[in-house]
Amino acid sequence: MSISKNLEQNRPIFPFTAIVGQEEMKLALILNVIDPKIGGVMIMGDRGTGKSTTVRALVDLLPEIKVVENDLFNSDPDDPELMSQEIREKLQNNEKIQVTTKKISMVDLPLGATEDRVCGTIDIEKALTEGIKAFEPGLLAKANRGILYVDEVNLLDDHLVDVLLDSAASGWNTVEREGISISHPARFILVGSGNPEEGELRPQLLDRFGMHAQIGTVKEANLRVKIVEQRASFDESPLSFRKNYDESQNELRERIITARHILKNVNLEYDYRIKISQICSELNVDGLRGDIVTNRASKALAAFEGRTEVTPQDIFRVIPLCLRHRLRKDPLESIDSGDKVRETFKKVFAYQ
C-alpha cells in the first residue's frame, strides 16, 4: 500500500462537494486553483463555520503537476521562472534531469512559526569552512507551486505576514545571512482564514490578498440539520461517506483541470475592462490590484464554466470578492459586505 493511501486511511479528508452552503468561499478557492496569479484568498467568518474544513478539503481536488524529481523546490522542468538555480544551471549545461508528476501540495503554516522556519536558513559554518552554500529550505520552498494555508492569519505576527505577502507577490524568496544570499522560486496560493472578532488584518496587508470571502453561520434550520447529520456520518465512517461523493469529486476535479487548460484562451472585452476600472475608480480603490484581480477572477470563472468569453454576470459574481476588502480606509471600519460594490457595478454596467 502506498504512503498516500495509508495517510488517506489514517486521516480521511471531508469531501469538498459535500460541504453545504458557503458558496462564496468555495468559489474563491476554486478560482485561485484555476489561476494562482489571482493572489490568494482571505476567508473571514465566525467560529465553527467550516473554514479550515473547506480549505483542507480542497487538497483532494488539486490537479497533478510536472516536477523535477528529488528537487526541494518543486521546480517546473519547463518554466525557468519556476525552477531553482541548481536546476537552471543543470539545463544550461545540458545535464539530464528526471521529471515526475505529483499532486499540488498544501503546506500548513503554524502560528508559532519563526522566520527561519518560514524562509529557510543558511548554515554559515558550512558556508565558511567548506565554501558551499548550505541552505536548509523552509515552508516557502515546500509551498512553491502549491498552496500555503495560514489558519488564524490575523493572529500571525505582522512581520511574518509581510514576508509571506512579499513572496506571494514577487514569486521569490531571498534569504541573506552574513553577506551570503540565496534565492529560490516561491510561487504559491496564499490562503488565510480568521475570525473577525479576534481582529482584522491591517488594510495594507489585507489589500495584498487577491480575494476576500466572508462567511457566516447558516441560519436555516433544515440546512443546519443537514450539516450536523453529514458531519455525524463522516465521523462514524469516513471512508464509506467519501465513497458517496467520489463521482461529484471527480467531476469537479475534471472541471478544474479543463478550466486551467482553456484559461489562456478566455477573452475579456476591452469595454468590460474599462468598466471594471471605472468601478474601481468610483469606489476610490487604491492602486491597481483591484482591477487586475477582477480581470483575472472573471476570466477564471468563465473558464470554470467552460466558456471562452467573459460575461457581465461573471464580473458581477466575482467583483465583490475582489474589491470589498480594498474599500476600507480606516482600520476601525468594518469590511463592506459587498453591497456597495454591487450597487456601483449595476450603475456602471446599467445592469438589472
Tens digits of residue pLDDT in 38-69: 988 998 887 777 788 888 888 888 888 888 88
- Give percent of the chain above pLDDT 70: 90
Residue whose C-alpha is closest to residue 293's, from 309, 279, 313: 279
- Write down the pLDDT at residue 169: 76
| Enzyme catalytic residues | 289
- CATH number for the domain harbouring residue 299: 1.10.8.80
Q: Do residues 34 and 116 both lie within one domain?
A: yes
- CATH number for the domain harbouring residue 203: 3.40.50.300
- Write down the pLDDT at residue 328: 64
Q: For 140, phi and psi rounded to 5 degrees?
A: -65, -35
Tens digits of residue pLDDT in 63-115: 888 888 888 888 888 887 788 778 888 888 888 888 888 888 888 888 888 88
Q: Do residues 209 and 276 both lie within one domain?
A: no
The residue segments making up the domain with residue 282 are 263-349
In-domain check, residue 68: no
Q: Do residues 155 and 299 both lie within one domain?
A: no
Total domains in the chain come to 2
In-domain check, residue 58: yes
Higher-confidence position of 319 and 195: 319
In-domain check, residue 180: yes
- Write down the pLDDT at residue 161: 80
In-domain check, residue 314: yes
List, in sequence order, every beta strand (DSSP E) within 226-309.
none
- Write down the pLDDT at residue 331: 52
In-domain check, residue 84: no
In-domain check, residue 49: yes
Tens digits of residue pLDDT in 8-43: 445 688 888 888 878 888 999 999 999 988 988 998
pLDDT interval class at 177 (50, 70, 90): confident
Q: Do residues 135 and 268 both lie within one domain?
A: no
Contact 124, 156 (CB under 8 A): no
DSSP state of 156: S
- Write down the pLDDT at residue 319: 94
Task: Determine the Cα–Cα distance for residues 154 and 156; give it in Å rounded to an integer.
Answer: 6
